[in-house]
């Protein structure tokens, strides 16, 4: 079976018109290139080129191979470039989980991400924080923005922000304070968001 290297050799032979020029272009010596051409012709069971004066011309079989060789080498080059882009993080899809109360800054974070990585798309899944952790653990998500407290020993964690809490009360004494500590709240029943939200 022909390989991509042989196809590149054949393209060079056709485009340069001589084994000597093709070998020079490919930075190899003439004998191995001649052997590769002969091996391709034997494998395909058909001559690919013929001599016309000092130049090599394609047979009909050669024209067919040349057409497909160009397509295949172009596809291989595109695949290689895309794999490198994905590997470098320059291209691909990011799966992101957010909880129901994720930061209001999320749109600006996503805009900054888009500016830095314009060829990376993202899929956003909304769920409760503990479920998002499970999806990251099972590799169904690459990252998640969650609210604490949660058990996060299995993860690399980056603290994004601290959320302020506001107290709504009919108690005039608490309402007059510029800020309230947890000690101040001790005598009052509290309604707090679930740690699973």
Could you tell me the CA-to-CA distances from 20 to 23, 113, 155, 192 in Å, in that order? 5, 51, 59, 80
User: Are both 63 and 87 inside the same structural domain?
Assistant: no
Does residue 195 sit within a domain? no
Does residue 35 sit within a domain? yes
Q: What is the 3-state secondary structure (H, E, C) of the chain?
A: CCCHHHHHHHHHHHHHCCHHHHHHHHCCCHHHHHHHHHHHHHHHCCCCEEEECCEEEECHHHHHHHHHHHHHHHHHHHHHHHHHHHHCCCCEEEEEEECCCCCCCHHHHHHHHHHHCCCEEEEEEECCHHHHHHHHHCCCCCEEECCCCCCCCCCCCCCCCCCCCCCCCCCHHHHCCCCCCHHHHCCCCCCCCCCCC
pLDDT digits (tens, 9 = 90+) for 75-112: 898 888 777 766 666 667 778 888 766 666 778 778 88
Does residue 141 sit within a domain? yes
User: Are both 106 and 139 inside the same structural domain?
Assistant: yes
Where does a domain end: 101, 117, 145?
145
User: Are both 141 and 89 inside the same structural domain?
Assistant: yes
Structural domain total, the chain: 2
User: Are both 58 and 89 inside the same structural domain?
Assistant: no
* Res 13 pLDDT > 90: yes
pLDDT digits (tens, 9 = 90+) for 103-156: 667 787 788 888 887 878 878 888 888 788 888 888 888 787 777 777 777 777
Does residue 167 sit within a domain? no
User: Are both 112 and 66 inside the same structural domain?
Assistant: no
Of 100, 96, 145, the residue nearest 125 (C-alpha): 96
pLDDT at 86: 66
User: Are both 101 and 74 inside the same structural domain?
Assistant: no
CATH value at residue 98: 3.40.190.10
Where does a domain end: 57, 78, 99?
78
Share of the chain above pLDDT 90, in %: 36
pLDDT at 49: 95
Does residue 151 sit within a domain? no
| pLDDT average, residue stretch 55-70 | 95
Q: Distance between CA 36 and CA 62 in Å, rounded?
A: 14
Q: Distance between CA 65 and CA 183 in Å, rounded?
A: 82
pLDDT at 88: 67
User: Are both 72 and 111 inside the same structural domain?
Assistant: no
Question: CA-based angle 141:146:149, to the nearest 5?
Answer: 130
pLDDT at 87: 65
Average per-residue pLDDT for the chain: 83
User: Are both 11 and 62 inside the same structural domain?
Assistant: yes
CATH value at residue 51: 1.10.10.10
Where does a domain end: 33, 54, 78?
78
Does residue 55 sit within a domain? yes
Token digits for 65? 């191979």
Pick the range with the lowest mean pLDDT from 29-43, 118-132, 163-177.
Answer: 163-177
Does residue 172 sit within a domain? no
Token digits for 36? 């590769």
- Domain of residue 103 covers 82-145
Does residue 190 sit within a domain? no
pLDDT at 39: 95
pLDDT at 153: 76
């Amino acid at each position: 079976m022909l390989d991509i290297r042989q196809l590149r050799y054949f393209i060079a032979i056709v485009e340069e018109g001589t084994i000597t020029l093709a070998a020079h272009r490919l930075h190899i010596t003439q004998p191995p290139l001649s052997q590769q051409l002969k091996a391709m012709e034997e494998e395909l069971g058909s001559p690919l080129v013929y001599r016309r004066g000092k130049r090599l011309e394609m047979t009909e079989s050669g024209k067919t191979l040349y057409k497909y060789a160009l397509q295949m080498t172009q596809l291989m080059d595109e695949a290689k470039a895309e794999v490198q882009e994905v590997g470098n993080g320059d291209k691909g899809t990011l799966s992101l989980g957010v909880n129901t109360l994720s930061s209001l800054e999320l749109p600006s974070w996503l805009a900054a991400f888009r500016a830095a990585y314009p060829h990376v798309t993202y899929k956003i899944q909304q769920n409760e924080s503990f479920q998002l952790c499970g999806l990251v653990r099972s590799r169904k998500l690459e990252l998640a923005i969650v609210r604490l407290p949660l058990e996060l020993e299995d993860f690399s964690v980056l603290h994004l922000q601290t959320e302020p809490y506001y107290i709504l009360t009919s108690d005039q004494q608490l309402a007059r304070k510029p800020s309230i500590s947890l000690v101040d709240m001790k005598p009052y029943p509290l309604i707090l968001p679930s740690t699973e939200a």
